[in-house]
Structure 1
Amino acid sequence: MTEGNFVDYVKMHVSSGNGGKGSTHLHREKYIAKGGPDGGDGGRGGHVIIKGNSNLWTLIHLKFKRHIKAGHGEHGSSGRSTGADGEDAIVEVPLGTVIRDTETNDILFEITEDGEEKIVAEGGKGGRGNWHFKSSTNQTPRYAQPGIPQQERNITLELKVLADVGLVGFPNAGKSTLLSVLTAAKPKIADYEFTTLKPNLGIVEYRDFQSFVMADIPGIIEGAAEGKGLGYYFLRHIERNSILLFLIPADAKDIVEQYEILVDELRRYNPEMLDKERFVCISKSDMLDEELKSEISTILDKDLESDYMFISSVAQQGLTELKDKLWKMLND
């Protein structure tokens, strides 16, 4: 999926339908001059419904749909006929979408299952017809209930990427290159920081036609939890990943320190993210000879609190072993 087609944040105004009003009709037909009240009920106004669709990966189909309106309920009519319900407006979203009230920023609900439906704006109930109000003391009521008005609200849709493995690292650590080698994804790759501005998703093909989803998250910088750099924009995407794959380049000044900074940013953003499984890859390791690898391994064995592996996306080193490791972690 190309970066330009990935839309993960949409604001929209939603309106449900008005309920139809009840009828005040009095029954009249040949030979029956005063047949009494027979006004029917009004129909329910249409709901605005958010529905999960596992075939969607982005909110791009909603990018220019800023106003969603459901149909109004029909009015009641004679013969106690109930008006038709208004047509529901169904908004399909990818799994992992969070719906917020734009005014308060409160989370209304999350969509995590295919086919799951949640009402975000409820249609107004139809008013009752005059036949409901007939009594021994008022046999010809000439009034009925009006329908309940529509609901209107502003909502924000935020997509948190649902992926098996999320790539975490500083800018220019080689995350996009790794994704492009392991999957058919074609992320933008260049030798400068913040080449990736939006998450990229790719499917890693494994043995026996099995696969798992990998997400390239824009690079973290120190202070991201407070909103520096791309801040909250990308950190929310890491929340949904089963495994966090930390990528640290072999030419980093201090590999252990970089890892600890990354972990600290995740902890400050959401401490629950530290409960996820973690694995560290030392990228760009084709620039290391065996002696340097041995020296670095001695330091990492002593100070790094996570399992690690040396890989090189460009030289295709260690990638099969990496896929084996990730598959084992996912299925254990």
Structure 2
Amino acid sequence: MKRIAVLTSGGDSPGMNAGIRAVVRKGIFHGLEVYGVYHGYQGLINGDIKKLELGSVGDIIHRGGTILQSSRSEQFKTEEGQLLAIQQLKSSEIEGLVVIGGDGSYRGALKLTEKGFPCIGLPGTIDNDIPGTDFTIGFDTALNTVVRAMDQIRDTAQSHERIFIIEVMGRHAGDIALWAGVAGGAETILIPERSFDLDDIVKRLEHGVERGKKHSIIALAEGVMSASKLADILKEKYGIETRVSVLGHIQRGGSPTGFDRVLASRMGARAVELLLEGKGGRAVGIQKNQIVDHDIEEILKEKSEPIGELYTLSKQLSI
């Protein structure tokens, strides 16, 4: 193998640049030429491919987002689009591809591998919802962003003796809400993977008031419902006034934490090693602080679940 490429796909996450840097420098260290595919799978179809040198990835390890840009491609979901992508790779004499993204990106990598072009997937998503890895690239940074915001909102909640509902990202996965809720001392945490009882939530709020607590934080994953809808329900059904804060896309941006930089570097390096070993269709992850890899097809069959012990602990600590 002489030439490999790297692309980022789907939603951006802090640490993607560190992963790109690792793929490029690890590849060059082993004598490979490394190419960057710009604008994800759509850029691959369009042939937006450029050679990357050591200097191309200098001073990017601390930057959020992705220097390769990202996009979603409906065309790539078709057989024709996938064949066009492979044609572009072969015309550039590229023999292996590293894909950094979420489960949709993994599906694309699997399709290319099934058609004879080896791809390695790196889990780049703030949602931490990829099976086969304890953490995804960007999750730790997003978590710390939310915790900082939660701490600041709590200052106002305490000053005005109010209940705040903080809506965070997570349409199908509640890891951000769960981890941030525990770290930020939220009194209630609502995530898509767990059912909840509004009466129980209200009782917990009332219990807090009875023991002299005048403010509370509800951490809400967007996949449960919107914060404004929950606020309306609490007002209309229980007469409870709340304030809403929707954190939105600030959770995706920002300089990656040291953990995410190291994680992405380790994963990116392993991806290059796998391609050099002649392997494709593998998903890199970290389990018990060891870098591992699994079959992408098997990963896509599984479902990531939040840590049940952590959810139970959140209930116990917020009495």
Place the TM-score, normalised by the shorter chain, in its bin: under 0.3
> TM-score when scaled to structure 1?
0.23
Whose strand fraction is larger, Structure 1's or Structure 2's? 1
Task: Identify which of structures 1 and 2 has the higher relative contact order when contacts are C-alpha pairs closer than 8 Å and 6+ apart.
Answer: 2
> TM-score when scaled to structure 2?
0.24
Structure with max Cα Rg: 1
